[in-house]
Amino acid sequence: MENEKYEVSSLFNEDIFRQIVEIWQRTGVGNAARGDSFEVVNRTLEHGGKILTLKENDTIIGTVWLTHDNRRLYIHHMALHPDWQGKRLSHYLLEDSLQYAHELGYQAKLEVDRDNLPAKHLYEKYGFKALGDFLVLIKREV
């Protein structure tokens, strides 16, 4: 990492989770309906996923959650705390995510709202392309 003020870490525990949830909530990438609890995140980590945090000095200012299905790496919940958005800091998280995909030898996939122009611009800059015009569906009841 070129700037020592910023560090990407894959350390994860309950206290870090609390700080991540605050960022998810403040940026709208997480909500209760999604069921993304500490236990759920840990389950994905046991299967080769990662939660990355971006720290400015000792403060967690951004995060991304990576999971895979032994075929593709999925990038979820990329978010920077609102006070740190628009400063070109998310590339630290995205580059480490893509490095992980590269190490695994997997293609990387993500979902982004078509109106989320900064996020779309960021992903396209790193080579992501729209995959058809699919509607994303989910069945919440298990």
Ligand X SMILES: CC(C)(COP(=O)(O)OP(=O)(O)OC[C@H]1O[C@@H](n2cnc3c(N)ncnc32)[C@H](O)[C@@H]1OP(=O)(O)O)[C@@H](O)C(=O)NCCC(=O)NCCS
- Can you give the binding site for ligand X, defined by CB under 6 A? 27, 29, 78-80, 85-91, 112, 116-119, 121-122, 125
Instruction: Considering the complex, state which of residue 91 and residue 142 has its C-beta at the smaller distance from ligand X.
Output: 91
Minimum Å gap between C-beta 56 and ligand X is: 12
* Cβ atoms of 75 and 41 closer than 8 Å: no
Task: State the angle between helix axes of 117-125 and 90-104 in degrees (0 to 180), rounded to the nearest 10.
Answer: 50
> 42 to each of 64, 66, 96, 103, 116, how far by Cα in Å?
14, 12, 20, 21, 28
Minimum Å gap between C-beta 121 and ligand X is: 4
Amino acid identity for residue 135 in this structure: L
Instruction: Considering the complex, state which of residue 135 and residue 142 has its C-beta at the smaller distance from ligand X.
Output: 135
Nearest partner of 50 among 106, 118, 120, 97, judged by Cα: 97
Nearest partner of 10 among 74, 57, 60, judged by Cα: 60
Minimum Å gap between C-beta 60 and ligand X is: 13
Instruction: Considering the complex, state which of residue 35 and residue 86 has its C-beta at the smaller distance from ligand X.
Output: 86
Minimum Å gap between C-beta 97 and ligand X is: 11
Instruction: Considering the complex, state which of residue 9 and residue 116 has its C-beta at the smaller distance from ligand X.
Output: 116
* Cβ atoms of 60 and 20 closer than 8 Å: yes
